[in-house]
């Protein structure tokens, strides 16, 4: 029994009969080829015995057990296992619903592909709101849209979970307005005193968060603005359509921008005073211009008077104010 019933046990050592060998005479020469006992335990030209994961016994590999009972090493040369396959988020072959690990390779279940069985063949998650796969602007790869990112003169670059966004597209501002307004300020068409749950029932896509300022931090993030009819103030919000899971992140600015309240009487009085001030200013300007003109004319007249002081003796057209007449008969003898 100590020598596998094939030899004799002498001085603590088994003496094996012809045709058997081994520490306990457990091996038969019929199970090996050639003189090298380990030749049958090497795969191809490999120098590793049993792929380094087992021991060669009688020309055959006996694979080492794993500490984890769910992990197995197997194969003629211990070359296979069920734990060294690719993983999806740390899960072997994406989990039992997506695939299983066989001899170091993932064998995928129907509906899944890829080396890690992480690619879904379903196009449901790629369906856009218009019923087209990736809005007709991309391809569905592994259950996710790969959008046409190269812009042309006739077509802009698209992005988003279903390739529905682009730099010149109208975006989701109008679609998200009512929910952002009722969640942030309790106003708008989805706000009702008679039905307080109206907003919560209709706005399940996102939960708006308040922020002090809005920034377009991420590619594709947009800022929208609308007027709140309840107070005529303008409110602002931004949205970002996550390309991975299709969720929408909405941030609303805490403060609105409201028009200043104008005092009507002050406005009217100000207009009247402005008109009067303009009239007085025009009158003063006219008076000043008239004064300047009159002074110029007076100076011109005075200059002409100084230059026109004639000499009466030398004036050919001067006529004295008296006339002298002679009586022809005065002094004659009668």
pLDDT for 179: 92
Instruction: Determine the average pLDDT of the residues in 87-93.
Output: 90
pLDDT band at 58 (very low <50, low <70, confident <90, very high): confident
DSSP class of 231: T
pLDDT, mean over the chain? 82
Higher-pLDDT residue of 310, 327:
327
Judged against a pLDDT cut of 90, whether residue 220 lies above it is answered with no
pLDDT for 73: 92
pLDDT for 236: 93
pLDDT for 86: 92
Q: Output the six-digit token pair for 209.
A: 């968060």
Q: How far apart are CA 81 and CA 96, in angstroms?
A: 16
Judged against a pLDDT cut of 60, whether residue 50 lies above it is answered with yes
Contact, 4 vs 57, CB < 8 A? no
Instruction: Determine the average pLDDT of the residues in 61-69.
Output: 89
Higher-pLDDT residue of 330, 253:
253
Contact, 137 vs 158, CB < 8 A? yes
Contact, 216 vs 222, CB < 8 A? yes
188: left (phi over 0), alpha (psi -120 to 50) or beta: left
Q: How far apart are CA 221 and CA 212, in angstroms?
A: 17
pLDDT for 33: 55
Neighbours of 46 (CB within 10 A): 13
DSSP E strands, 89-200:
91-92, 99-102, 105-108, 112-113, 119-120, 138-141, 144-147
Q: Which of 74, 219, 229, 230 is nearest to 158 (CA)?
A: 219
Burial of 26 (0-12, 13-18, 19+ CB in 10 A): middle
Q: How far apart are CA 141 and CA 120, in angstroms?
A: 8
pLDDT for 184: 92
Contact, 51 vs 38, CB < 8 A? no
pLDDT for 291: 92
Q: Output the six-digit token pair for 145.
A: 């849209």
Q: How many helices (DSSP H) and strands (DSSP E) are in the chain?
A: 3, 20
Q: How far apart are CA 238 and CA 222, in angstroms?
A: 5
Sign for the pseudo-dihedral over CA of 162, 167, 169, 170: positive
H or E element at residue 15: strand 13-15
The pLDDT tens digits of the residues spanning 202-214 come to: 888 889 999 999 8
pLDDT band at 285 (very low <50, low <70, confident <90, very high): very high
pLDDT for 273: 93
pLDDT for 7: 67
Highest mean pLDDT: which range of 62-76, 156-170, 216-230, 251-265: 62-76
Contact, 2 vs 24, CB < 8 A? yes
Contact, 92 vs 105, CB < 8 A? no
Q: Which of 97, 117, 95, 96 is nearest to 105 (CA)?
A: 117
pLDDT for 243: 60
Contact, 108 vs 100, CB < 8 A? no
pLDDT for 322: 76
Judged against a pLDDT cut of 60, whether residue 35 lies above it is answered with no
pLDDT band at 245 (very low <50, low <70, confident <90, very high): low
Whether pTM > 0.75 for this model: the answer is no
Higher-pLDDT residue of 174, 107:
107
Burial of 51 (0-12, 13-18, 19+ CB in 10 A): buried
pLDDT for 263: 75
The proportion of the chain whose per-residue pLDDT surpasses 90, expressed as a percent, equals 26
């Amino acid at each position: 029994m100590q020598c596998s019933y094939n030899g004799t046990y002498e001085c603590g050592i088994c003496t094996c009969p012809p045709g058997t060998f081994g520490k306990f005479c457990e091996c038969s020469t019929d199970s090996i080829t050639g003189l090298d006992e380990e030749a049958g335990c090497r795969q191809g030209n490999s120098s590793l015995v049993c792929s380094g994961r087992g021991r060669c016994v009688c020309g055959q590999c006996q694979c080492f057990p794993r500490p984890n009972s769910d992990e197995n090493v197997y194969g003629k040369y211990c070359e296979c296992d069920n734990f060294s396959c690719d993983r999806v988020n740390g899960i072997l072959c994406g989990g039992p619903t997506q695939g299983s690990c066989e001899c170091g390779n993932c064998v995928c279940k129907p509906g899944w592909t890829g080396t890690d069985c992480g690619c879904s063949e379903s196009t449901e998650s790629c369906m856009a709101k218009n019923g087209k796969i990736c809005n007709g602007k991309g391809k569905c790869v592994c259950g996710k849209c790969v959008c046409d990112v190269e812009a042309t003169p006739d077509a802009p670059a698209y992005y988003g979970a279903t390739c529905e966004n682009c730099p010149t597209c109208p975006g989701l501002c109008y679609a998200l307005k009512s929910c952002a307004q009722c969640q942030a300020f309790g106003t708008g068409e989805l706000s009702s005193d008679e039905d307080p749950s109206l907003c919560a029932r209709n706005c399940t896509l996102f939960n708006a968060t308040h922020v002090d300022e809005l920034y377009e931090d991420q590619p594709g993030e947009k800022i929208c603005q609308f007027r709140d009819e309840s107070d005529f103030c303008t409110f602002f919000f931004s949205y970002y359509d996550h390309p991975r899971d299709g969720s929408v992140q909405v941030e609303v600015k805490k403060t609105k921008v409201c028009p200043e309240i104008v005092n009507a009487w002050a406005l009217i009085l100000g207009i009247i005073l402005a008109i009067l001030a303009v009239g007085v200013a025009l009158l003063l300007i006219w008076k000043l211009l008239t004064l300047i003109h009159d002074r110029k004319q007076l100076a011109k007249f005075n200059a002409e008077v100084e230059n026109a002081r004639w000499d009466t003796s030398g004036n050919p057209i001067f006529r004295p104010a008296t006339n002298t007449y002679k009586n022809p008969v005065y002094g004659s003898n009668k």
